[in-house]
Amino acid sequence: MSDSRPVRRMALRFDPDYAGRPGYRPDFLPGFTVPLPGVTPQRAADLVLGADGAPLELQYHHFSLLVHAARRSQLWSAVNVDYTPQRRFGNPDRQTLGRDEWRSDPRLPPEALLRDADIYADTLFDRGHVVRRNDNAWGETLTELEYANADTFHWTNATPQHADFNQSRAGGLWGGLEDQLVGALGAAGARACLYAGPVLAGSDPSGDFGAGPVQYPLKFWKVVVVAEGETLRSYAFLLDQSAAIARRGLRDEALAEEDLNFGGFEVYQVGLEEISGLTGVTFAPGVGAAQVDRGEVGTLETLPVRRRLESFGDVRLR
């Protein structure tokens, strides 16, 4: 295999060819079709539209997303993930891949997205990756891996996430759900399809952080779809940072060390119906039918049960 030796770089290596980015593949899980999410008609009116009047699907290396126009943030993203070691090239570290460098997508005007001056510069909000670099950094060649990693640093993929999240127990749980599921299930080909996004609710709070009023999300969601043998399984999760923001505020100093693992972030395993109700994002019937915790159709146990997660051991696998 060519292009296989990592070298240390000063900056991320971006692919200059936006027209050639393949985006999300619905046929990524062998033997199954996992379509892109959809949106309700009401939510479709909120999106950035293309020249044809349809929601503009922005395609990147391994993932695609839609942008909410008024909120200047993605509504959903869909990403193909491959965890096989030969496509990870030893999981090169950040020094090898290059320093973090957020950038605009030339397919959108710069003012169409939240950036540092709007919310991140002087607050306790981090630029949270919706599509994680650890999920997206894979490829047939090291160049493909580098391009995929760099694509996660577009402002289209950033969402305001409280800075304490990375220091909390919930941060590790939330960030590792997908790869732990793949490992626990022995997923076919160590592959997964992930959907994720912020919950953009009309009731979300807002603040002026120096560049005008900005609404910020209190909740985030993700759906993990894997193939366990010949069975498709889907898992839906919700993260709530409301308590952390209420407790800490947005401009405070760092917490004392003994306070780092407070319970301000809550992670739940939920049903796709709950996520759709909160977001206006819709899912293909096959993805819904693959949910765990689903009883026999037509019974009171049809819908999955909402459960609070303290560790991966709390996840209902089957």
- Residue-level pLDDT at 9: 61
Q: DSSP letters of the chain? A: --S-S----SB----S-GGG-----TT-STT---PPPEE-HHHHTTB-B-TTSSB--EE-SSEEEEEETTTTEEEEEEEEEE--GGGTTT---HHHH-B---B--TTS-GGGS--IIIIITTSSEEEEESS-HHHH---SSHHHHHHHHHHTTBGGGEEEEEGGGGGSHHHHHHHHHHHHHHHHHT-GGGEEEEEEEEE--TT--EEESSSSEEE--SEEEEEEEEEETTEEEEEEEEEE-HHHHHHH-SSPPPPPGGGTT-S--EEEEE-HHHHHHHH-EE--HHHHHTBTT---TTSTT-SPPPEEESSGGGS---
284 assigned to some structural domain: yes
Global pTM value: 0.90
- Residue-level pLDDT at 91: 79
Which residues 6+ apart lie within 8 Å of 85 measured at CB?
A: none
Give the active site residues.
129
2 assigned to some structural domain: no
Q: What pLDDT tens digit does each residue of the chain (318 aa) get?
A: 455 555 556 678 899 999 999 999 999 999 999 999 999 999 999 999 998 989 999 999 999 999 999 999 999 999 999 999 999 988 777 667 777 889 999 999 988 999 999 999 888 899 999 999 999 999 999 999 999 999 999 999 999 998 888 778 788 899 999 989 998 988 888 999 999 999 999 999 999 988 899 999 999 999 999 999 899 999 999 999 998 888 777 765 554 444 445 457 899 999 999 999 999 999 999 999 999 865 444 444 455 678 899 999 999 988
Structure-block tokens of residue 111: 């003012």
Q: Which domain holds residue 251?
A: 20-96+104-312
Structure-block tokens of residue 306: 């909402």
CA torsion 28-32-37-38 (nearest 10°) is 130
Nearest in space to 93 (alpha carbons), one of 137, 124, 153, 144: 137
13 assigned to some structural domain: no
38 assigned to some structural domain: yes
317 assigned to some structural domain: no
- Residue-level pLDDT at 25: 98
Sequence letter at residue 38 = G
Structure-block tokens of residue 46: 């909120």
Q: How far apart are CA 302 and CA 288, in angstroms?
A: 11
- Residue-level pLDDT at 299: 41
- Residue-level pLDDT at 304: 60
Q: Say if residue 166 carries a ligand binding annotation.
A: yes
9 assigned to some structural domain: no
148 assigned to some structural domain: yes
Nearest in space to 170 (alpha carbons), one of 312, 67, 23, 19: 312
Where residue 126 sits, what CATH number does that domain have?
Answer: 3.40.570.10
- Residue-level pLDDT at 256: 45
Q: How many structural domains does the chain have?
A: 1
Q: How far apart are CA 45 and CA 280, in angstroms?
A: 11
154 assigned to some structural domain: yes
Structure-block tokens of residue 110: 């710069």
